[in-house]
Structure 1
Amino acid sequence: MKKLFTILFLLGFVAVYAQNSLSGKITDTNNQPLEGVEIYAPMLHKGTTTNQKGEYTLKNIPNGEITINVTFLGYKTITKTFSFKNNSITDNFSLKEAIFEIDEVIVSTPFNKLQSDNVMKVDRLTAKSLQKTGASSLAEGITNIAGVSQISTGIGIGKPVIRGLSGNRVLVYTQGVRLENQQYGSEHGLGLSDNGIQSIEVIKGPASLLYGSDALGGVLYINPEKFAPENKSQLLFGQRYFSNTLGSNTTIGLKHSGNLWNFLARGTYALHSDYKIPTNQRVTNTRFKEKDLKLGVGFNKDYFTSELRYNFNNTVVGIPEEGIKEQTTTTTPENPYQKINNHVISLHNHIFFGDSKLDADFGYIINDRSEFEEHEDHDEDETEEEHEEHGDEAALRMKLKTFSYNLKYHLPKFGDFETLVGIQGMHQTNKNFGEELLIPNAKVNDFGAFVTANYEWNDINTLQAGVRFDNRAITTERHEVQHEDETHIFNAIDKSFNSFTASLGFKTLLFKHLDTRINIATGFRAPNLAELTSNGVHHGTNRFEVGNNNLSTEKNIQVDLSFEYDTEHFELFANGFYNSINDYIFIAPTGEVEDGAPVFRFTQEDAKLYGGEFGFHLHPHPLDWLHLESSFETVIGKQNNGSYLPLIPANTWKNSFRGEFNVSNWLQSGYASVSLNTTFDQNNISSFETKTNGYSLVNLGFGGDLIFGKTKFNTSISVNNLFNKKYINHLSRLKSDGILNAGRNIVLGLRFTI
């Protein structure tokens, strides 16, 4: 594999050097030059910015058709495709002011269109917007996207939920490769820092055509931060303080970009004590620590570009078991707790052949997960670092290694007809090193092949369709685990799952200002190792879980209908969906007790989910500083026998009132906001859930860019749960113990770039 990485990375040196460049001047509609406008080529992972005269130059562009995005805060994004063939192109742009958010290129879809041109409805949240929310983690931050929620264990562990589907039904991509970190468990967090990312894209609905198994419910696509503009160096610093957990999040980054090479490095250290509930008590052992390192190097030359990234994340997180005990503000978890080391290596290559292009992406992930249960002889004088390093005491330890590949060939365009063919695959091994087992030693092999096409006509109509075949093979070893007076047997299995998937989407301008999208897609998900093989107490969930090796592949078909009405001062959207799932896998209690824990068994039943997201954004004229946004989201999940599905989020209604302003030359992009988020009663519950009362939370936000000389300090103040409301979210795993969610939290943030 190392040889393969080296060969692909050095391919660029064998091509003939192409002296392609793009230059020009960017002005506003009054012909005034704009400084700081970003000119970026997504497929090259490189860009530049305009100088004081509005001039720019982007060098070392390969031959072929290259799409360039021109973006500047407060102005409409321009995207344009240029054809390079050993030449230099000069092109000037005039930017028009935009009232609403910048229209960005969507990376998670096959043809990388602007969202306004995409057949699929994709929601996007920038890193800057994420920081403004005051979220303690990445999983919490993405819940600000309509239709997205999280299954949480305190504030340190969160699992994304897209329209009622979670776990292995939501595929997470980071650095352009699929994240594999034992995501079957609801008490297994993302293991990703919210620092060092550019944006988050969410596909709500089956995306198996593009990503294979585990994308049945949707995709969370996390784009890493960009390199510095061409021929520039940057030093970045960020600091956040969280009042509720007495928490701190510190990040430092360094970037440098030349004509051919780009480099970046970022380190993050975060720590939080137990979170405080509105009764002024702290929930024992919800504390956590996180260390994160991100490195990147990019190369652009001739007919070839390459980007190599590495992310190491170390998380030590407590697992609350006994509710509220002795009050402390320590950040060192007691038992039980998890220690996770996650390594993500990704290599992205783009090879240009004039009118066509090959994307060759490779990923290697090592997930080392340990669970500690007993430290009875722990020395009180032992340091926190020594306490954490007792790896030989882990009761449970699993190492998951995953190699993935993704080859996509963009065929030459035929008029307005684009075609993409590709193959994807994965080789995965899981090995156990602790005394206890949750899942056996196993191997998983995936292979998929697909073709998809996009056709546009009359500038208002787009049709997109595709088909795919996948195979997943799973083999496991037999284990006998002695537990007290019981022997738990994990029988060996050797199974193969096949599936065909397809999608069809259509976008049109139905009436003036009214964009309409309709998508029909099928998806599938092969049962995971826990669902097939579990046979023992899972301490993270406090239950005895029993697998079922006769489980079938989940298959679904979903219909999405989207309307967007967009004028200069008003936006209105309505997204509806209906999702029919055959052989939906879920876990249910049997009424038995084994090893002192209730027994839960995996089973299947046909099911359906339906609902949608609806809302508006008002920017009244002539009050240019005012924004009023409102959204309502709902989902209902039912088995075909009439019973409700578990872990379905309650209906929510979110309202925000935001003012934007500038103060002289020292405060730019200032904002002040107040939001009211209402969560309704959840009475549609499964047979082993209890109803959850509704609640309303008020949040405040204030911030902007403080200008001192040539340095811009981005500041933010967030107050979440302003009135310290007592509430329990239906998707909280602590709900069964009657433990409240977090009380008031004041978050102070400061970021700057030198």
Structure 2
Amino acid sequence: MKKLILLSLLLATTSLFAQNSVKGIVTDADMHSPIPFATIYIPTLEKGINTDVDGRFNLTGIPNGRYQLIISAIGFKPFSKLISFPSDAILKVELTHAAIEMDEVIVSTPFHKLQSENVMKVTQANVQTLKTQGAMTLSDGISQISGVETLSTGVGIGKPVIRGLSGNRVLVYTQGIRLENQQFGGEHGLGINDAGIESIEVIKGPASLLYGSDALGGVLYLNPEKFAPSNTHKADVNLDYYTNTDGYSTNAGFKKSAERFKFLIRGAHTSHADYKAGNDLYTTNSRFSEYDLKTGISYNFDNFQTELRYNYNHSEIGIPEQVGDQNKHRTPILPYQELDNHILSLKSVLYFDTSSLDINLGYTSNKRLEFEEHHHHDHDEEHEHHEEEEHHDHAAEEAALDMRLRTLSYNLQYHFPKLGNFETIIGLQGMHQTNENFGEELLIPDASTTDFGVMATSHYHMENSDLQFGIRYDNRKIDTKLAGEEGGESYFPVISKNYNSFNASAGYRFDFLKKFIGRVNVASGFRAPNLSELTSNGGHSGANRYEIGRSDLDNEQNIQFDLSLEYNNRHLELFANGFYNTINNFIYLQPTGEFINESPVYQYTQNDSELYGGEVGIHLHPHAIEWLHFESTYEMVVGKLLDNDQYIPLIPANTLSNTLRIEFEGKKLSDTYAFLTLKSTFNQNKVGTFEDPTNAYTLLNAGVGTSTEILDLPIYFRITANNIFDTEYISHLSRLKTDGIYNIGRNINLGLTLTL
């Protein structure tokens, strides 16, 4: 490994220190007029510039090599071109109008293609767009993406569910590195604030080829906000207020870039009281607060660029268990959690004449404290009102759970010189992880996990189609330490496990009949059992059950088939995505019928399973009414255990969402919009053996927003109302469903953004 890096550095220093440029003009194909403020961007270099008022641009400082150049503007179809350097390219680009949203560059897949050019179907959503729909948290926002739902505990705790799979089956990436924060636990969320996250990409299906174990069900890829363009700076302040929880969220950021050096920083604070359901009752202890800091620096040499980012997140989250005291207090009562996440990433790229080497290094630290009512189980209801005042006394006690997870990760990818129409990448990827316990309770033992993977993937570009394929080998080693006494609770024997897997994927993308795009993908994936599944022997109030693991569990191994079809013209977009996913050795919890300390006992077991379903949708933009949009999507997932023909638990219900949106164009109304959404969630009767069916419900949401200037400062206002009719409902994916606690009722969000 060291020799490879040293060789790459030597090659970089012997390469020519290039100062190539590309310049030109961007015009409207219909009107033949210049397009100001269009974006000129080279994804692999993360280098870009905007056109001036005359539609002209001059992007300089480009090293030797071959790069995909993307030119885009709102309301137009993006232009994509592969340009080879050294050369001084001069372009005259005409963009054609497109009613559908601007095509974005996909960065979660290795070749940085536009969505429309990508072989693998990837869904991307802008976080600011999700905020305009009233999302209170990042987890709340991702549930608005087609094919994605959230396994929630109130509004403060949410975990992503992609096509019915969640937990350790969905891998989360942020700042270009894997996020590790005890994903097996359902009673805590992502640990990332939406401030400083620019967009979200979702790979729906096995992505083990790119990411290894834990990407069996899909990947949630969080793209941090970009640095400011060269020789510019920007500052902004964002304020949000939520009526239901009397909650607020604030963040402020500043970024400045010279020609080579770039810097940004953003701080955020969020605070919410208990949420009120549609029955006008507050869900006791659903309150939460969060502090978040993100910062980064970047430096570009002629043939080398590096980017260092850091994110710190601290949150206090109440764990709701009942509808009790009705108040607007913000300090959590028992049980509650304190979480600290540190994420440090170093992303570097070495550019050679016709190839490049990506080096991504990461360090994450997750500290999870849980405070429980160890000595207060006999408190009767008349004492509940004292819990708020006693919080600080509880906080002074030692946490029942004190878990420290530290992860070092690396990802090296070498991009070979392009050979004809072939692009090829080989890579090494892995991590070393340690888990330590310092509390009186143990959910999992002290342990270490080591991953190593090697992969190769190629992309073959043809005139009207693209082919992509690859293969990968992975090894995961898990070693645990002895804890407790044999036969007692929290006894963990020593185990040493090795898991290996070969995986492959292949995909074909093709254009036909001018306006249609088809994609066919098949991929295998795997997931090694996590520590909880292998070793659990205990329970706690957050889980409300006693869990027992099995050290003899095998890999989960799956194969998924995906078929997607898209039709796109200037005023109409249609899409249909279908999948079939078969998973061997699917791991799940099964009640044993026994009780320990009055808690039901659940044990992990395995069974072959299958999931199938998909999403269909339409986006209509009538030619005669340029400001009107109509969107409709339908989603469904079915999950079954094959041996006994029972349904998999925690599968989301089918949904139908219809949105009527207006968007005004023009100098004065360019940021003005309004929308009305009717989302219908159907009965979920296909439930696991120990689940209850969930009734259907329909929610009406609406929002408006506009921008203006005050004292020459751009100000953006928005107001969003969710669950306008204050409907009483319970989501099938709510962990509070078994307690009969409803989801959040009517909530109005007032938002303001001030750009300095």
With the shorter chain as reference, the TM-score category is over 0.9
1:507-532: CA deviation from partner (whole Å, max 9, x where unpaired): 11243322111111100000000000
**Within-5 A mapping of 1:617-628:** 617-628=619-630
Q: Which residue of 2 aligns with 1:412?
A: 417
Q: Which residue of 1 aligns with 2:288?
A: 288
Q: Choose the corresponding residue for 2:432, options 412, 422, 427.
A: 427
Q: Residues of 2 paired with 1:479 and 1:331: CA distance?
A: 37
1:656-675: CA deviation from partner (whole Å, max 9, x where unpaired): 1111114x744322111101
Shift of residue 38, structure 1, vs aligned partner: 1.9
Q: Choose the corresponding residue for 1:527, options 526, 529, 547.
A: 529
Contact 2:8 2:357 in 1 (8 A): no
1:157-211: CA deviation from partner (whole Å, max 9, x where unpaired): 0010000000000000001101000001111201111110111000101000110
Contact 2:98 2:569 in 1 (8 A): no
- 2:45 equivalent to 1:44: yes
Secondary structure, counterpart of 1:667 in structure 2: coil
Give, as a single letter, the amino acid of the residue that structure 2 aligns with 1:462.
Answer: D
Shift of residue 375, structure 1, vs aligned partner: 9.0
Q: Which residue of 2 aligns with 1:59?
A: 60
Q: Residues of 2 paired with 1:367 and 1:385: CA distance?
A: 27
Q: Which residue of 2 aligns with 1:122?
A: 122
Larger deviation: 739-748 or 414-423? 414-423
Larger deviation: 576-585 or 110-119? 110-119
**Within-5 A mapping of 1:377-526:** 387=392, 390=395, 393-457=398-462, 459-480=463-484, 486-526=488-528
Give, as a single letter, the amino acid of the residue that structure 2 aligns with 1:694.
Answer: A
Gaps of 5+ in 2: 377-382
Q: Residues of 2 paired with 1:311 and 1:585: CA distance?
A: 33
Shift of residue 421, structure 1, vs aligned partner: 0.8
Q: Residues of 2 paired with 1:54 and 1:365: CA distance?
A: 43
Larger deviation: 246-255 or 297-306? 297-306
1:311-370: CA deviation from partner (whole Å, max 9, x where unpaired): 00111100012x111111111111111111000011111111111111111110000111
Q: Which residue of 2 aligns with 1:327?
A: 326
Larger deviation: 720-729 or 108-117? 108-117
User: How has the CA–CA distance of structure 1 residues 538 and 661 changed in structure 2, closer, same or farther, with 3 Å as cutoff?
Assistant: same
Secondary structure, counterpart of 1:346 in structure 2: strand
Larger deviation: 230-239 or 22-31? 22-31
Secondary structure, counterpart of 2:348 in structure 1: strand
Q: Choose the corresponding residue for 1:653, options 651, 656, 679.
A: 656
Secondary structure, counterpart of 2:484 in structure 1: strand
Q: Which residue of 1 aligns with 2:131?
A: 131
User: How has the CA–CA distance of structure 1 residues 271 and 287 changed in structure 2, closer, same or farther, with 3 Å as cutoff?
Assistant: same
Shift of residue 67, structure 1, vs aligned partner: 2.3
User: How has the CA–CA distance of structure 1 residues 279 and 267 changed in structure 2, closer, same or farther, with 3 Å as cutoff?
Assistant: same
Q: Choose the corresponding residue for 1:600, options 589, 602, 606.
A: 602
Contact 2:489 2:537 in 1 (8 A): no
Q: Residues of 2 paired with 1:76 and 1:620: CA distance?
A: 17
Q: Which residue of 1 aligns with 2:268?
A: 268
Q: Residues of 2 paired with 1:26 and 1:518: CA distance?
A: 34
Give, as a single letter, the amino acid of the residue that structure 2 aligns with 1:738.
Answer: G
**Within-5 A mapping of 1:63-78:** 63-78=64-79
Contact 2:162 2:204 in 1 (8 A): yes
Q: Which residue of 1 aligns with 2:379?
A: none
Q: Residues of 2 paired with 1:199 and 1:143: CA distance?
A: 14
- 2:354 equivalent to 1:352: no
Shift of residue 301, structure 1, vs aligned partner: 1.5
Q: Which residue of 2 aligns with 1:675?
A: 677
Secondary structure, counterpart of 1:668 in structure 2: coil
User: How has the CA–CA distance of structure 1 residues 180 and 632 changed in structure 2, closer, same or farther, with 3 Å as cutoff?
Assistant: same
Give, as a single letter, the amino acid of the residue that structure 2 aligns with 1:77.
Answer: P
Q: Residues of 2 paired with 1:753 and 1:56: CA distance?
A: 24
- 2:255 equivalent to 1:250: no
Shift of residue 50, structure 1, vs aligned partner: 2.3
Q: Which residue of 2 aligns with 1:343?
A: 342
User: How has the CA–CA distance of structure 1 residues 388 and 305 changed in structure 2, closer, same or farther, with 3 Å as cutoff?
Assistant: farther
Give, as a single letter, the amino acid of the residue that structure 2 aligns with 1:471.
Answer: N
Contact 2:126 2:198 in 1 (8 A): yes
Give, as a single letter, the amino acid of the residue that structure 1 aligns with 2:408.
Answer: F
Shift of residue 8, structure 1, vs aligned partner: 10
Q: Residues of 1 paired with 2:88 and 2:718: CA distance?
A: 43
Larger deviation: 683-692 or 42-51? 42-51
Give, as a single letter, the amino acid of the residue that structure 2 aligns with 1:334.
Answer: I
- Aligned-pair identity in percent equals 52
User: How has the CA–CA distance of structure 1 residues 667 and 711 changed in structure 2, closer, same or farther, with 3 Å as cutoff?
Assistant: farther
Q: Which residue of 1 aligns with 2:592?
A: 590
Alignment RMSD (CA, Å): 2.6
Q: Residues of 1 paired with 2:49 and 2:67: CA distance?
A: 15
User: How has the CA–CA distance of structure 1 residues 717 and 578 changed in structure 2, closer, same or farther, with 3 Å as cutoff?
Assistant: same
User: How has the CA–CA distance of structure 1 residues 54 and 438 changed in structure 2, closer, same or farther, with 3 Å as cutoff?
Assistant: same
Contact 1:45 1:227 in 2 (8 A): no
Gaps of 5+ in 1: none
Secondary structure, counterpart of 1:490 in structure 2: coil
Secondary structure, counterpart of 2:532 in structure 1: helix
Shift of residue 6, structure 1, vs aligned partner: 13
Secondary structure, counterpart of 2:533 in structure 1: helix
Give, as a single letter, the amino acid of the residue that structure 1 aligns with 2:164.
Answer: G
Give, as a single letter, the amino acid of the residue that structure 2 aligns with 1:474.
Answer: I
Shift of residue 588, structure 1, vs aligned partner: 1.3
Contact 1:8 1:349 in 2 (8 A): no
User: How has the CA–CA distance of structure 1 residues 702 and 126 changed in structure 2, closer, same or farther, with 3 Å as cutoff?
Assistant: same
**Within-5 A mapping of 1:680-699:** 680-699=682-701
Q: Which residue of 2 aligns with 1:748?
A: 750
Q: Residues of 2 paired with 1:302 and 1:388: CA distance?
A: 58
Q: Residues of 2 paired with 1:37 and 1:511: CA distance?
A: 29
Shift of residue 415, structure 1, vs aligned partner: 1.2
Q: Residues of 1 paired with 2:92 and 2:596: CA distance?
A: 72
Q: Choose the corresponding residue for 1:549, options 548, 551, 558.
A: 551
Q: Residues of 1 paired with 2:146 and 2:387: CA distance?
A: 46
**Within-5 A mapping of 1:168-207:** 168-207=168-207
- 2:647 equivalent to 1:644: yes
Q: Residues of 1 paired with 2:421 and 2:396: CA distance?
A: 58
Q: Residues of 1 paired with 2:302 and 2:14: CA distance?
A: 9
Q: Residues of 2 paired with 1:93 and 1:751: CA distance?
A: 33
Shift of residue 714, structure 1, vs aligned partner: 2.2
Q: Residues of 1 paired with 2:10 and 2:372: CA distance?
A: 47
Shift of residue 386, structure 1, vs aligned partner: 9.4
Contact 2:442 2:490 in 1 (8 A): no
User: How has the CA–CA distance of structure 1 residues 382 and 611 changed in structure 2, closer, same or farther, with 3 Å as cutoff?
Assistant: closer
Q: Residues of 2 paired with 1:60 and 1:405: CA distance?
A: 28
**Within-5 A mapping of 1:366-385:** 366-374=365-373
User: How has the CA–CA distance of structure 1 residues 189 and 57 changed in structure 2, closer, same or farther, with 3 Å as cutoff?
Assistant: same
Secondary structure, counterpart of 1:492 in structure 2: coil
Give, as a single letter, the amino acid of the residue that structure 2 aligns with 1:448.
Answer: G
1:120-141: CA deviation from partner (whole Å, max 9, x where unpaired): 1111101221111111111111
Give, as a single letter, the amino acid of the residue that structure 2 aligns with 1:204.
Answer: K
With normalisation by structure 2, the TM-score equals 0.95
The size of the alignment, in residue pairs, is 747
With normalisation by structure 1, the TM-score equals 0.95
User: How has the CA–CA distance of structure 1 residues 157 and 35 changed in structure 2, closer, same or farther, with 3 Å as cutoff?
Assistant: same
Q: Residues of 2 paired with 1:54 and 1:391: CA distance?
A: 62
Give, as a single letter, the amino acid of the residue that structure 2 aligns with 1:701.
Answer: G
User: How has the CA–CA distance of structure 1 residues 449 and 665 changed in structure 2, closer, same or farther, with 3 Å as cutoff?
Assistant: closer
